[in-house]
Amino acid sequence: MAAMADSILRVRDMTSGDLASAHALSRQMQWPHRIEDWAFLLSIGEGVVVEDGDAIVGTAMGWPYGPASACLGMVIVDSGRQGQGIGRKLMNAVIEKLGERTILLNATAEGLPLYKSLGFEPVGTIHQHQGAAFSVPIANVGPDERIRPMGKGDQPAIAELDRKATGLERGALIAELLRAKAKGVVLVRNGEAIGFSFFRRFGRGYSIGPTVAPDQQGAKALISHWLGSQSGMFMRLDVPGDTELSPWLEELGIADVGTVTTMARGTPAPRDAAVRTFSIITQALG
Residue 22: give the domain boundaries: 2-100
Residue 197's CB is within 10 A of a number of other CB atoms, namely 27
Helix (H) or strand (E) holding 23: helix 19-28
155 and 193 part of one domain? yes
Question: What CATH number does residue 93 fall under?
Answer: 3.40.630.30
pLDDT (tens digit per residue) in 61-119: 999 999 999 999 999 999 999 999 999 999 999 999 999 999 999 999 999 999 999 99
Which of 45, 54, 53 has its CA nearest to residue 14? 45
**Which pLDDT score, from 0 to 100, does residue 162 have?**
98
159 and 89 part of one domain? no
214 and 268 part of one domain? yes
pLDDT (tens digit per residue) in 225-248: 999 999 999 999 999 999 999 999
Q: Flag whether 109 is in a domain.
A: no
**Which pLDDT score, from 0 to 100, does residue 163 have?**
98
Q: Which residues contact 1 (CB under 8 A, 6 or more apart)?
A: none
pLDDT band at residue 283 using 50, 70 and 90 as cut-offs: very high
25 and 136 part of one domain? no
- The separation between CA 83 and the C-alpha centre of its own chain, rounded to angstroms, equals 26
Whole-model pTM? 0.94
Q: Please list the alpha-helical segments (H only) found in 46-131.
A: 86-98, 112-117
Whether 38 contacts 19, CB under 8 Å: yes
Q: Flag whether 67 is in a domain.
A: yes
- The separation between CA 192 and the C-alpha centre of its own chain, rounded to angstroms, equals 27
Q: Flag whether 110 is in a domain.
A: no
Whether 168 contacts 286, CB under 8 Å: yes
**Which pLDDT score, from 0 to 100, does residue 7 have?**
54
Q: Flag whether 51 is in a domain.
A: yes
DSSP state letters, 165-208? HHS---HHHHHHHHHTT-EEEEEEETTEEEEEEEEEEETTEEEE
199 and 260 part of one domain? yes
Q: Flag whether 115 is in a domain.
A: no
pLDDT (tens digit per residue) in 161-204: 999 999 999 999 999 999 999 999 999 999 999 999 999 999 99
Compute the distance between CA of residue 153 and CA of residue 186 in angstroms, rounded to an integer.
12
93 and 7 part of one domain? yes
pLDDT band at residue 1 using 50, 70 and 90 as cut-offs: very low
Angle, helices 35-44 vs 19-28, to 10°: value is 120
pLDDT at 145 over 60: yes
160 and 253 part of one domain? yes
Which of 82, 100, 118 delimits the end of a domain?
100
pLDDT (tens digit per residue) in 3-45: 434 458 999 999 999 999 999 999 999 999 999 999 999 999 9
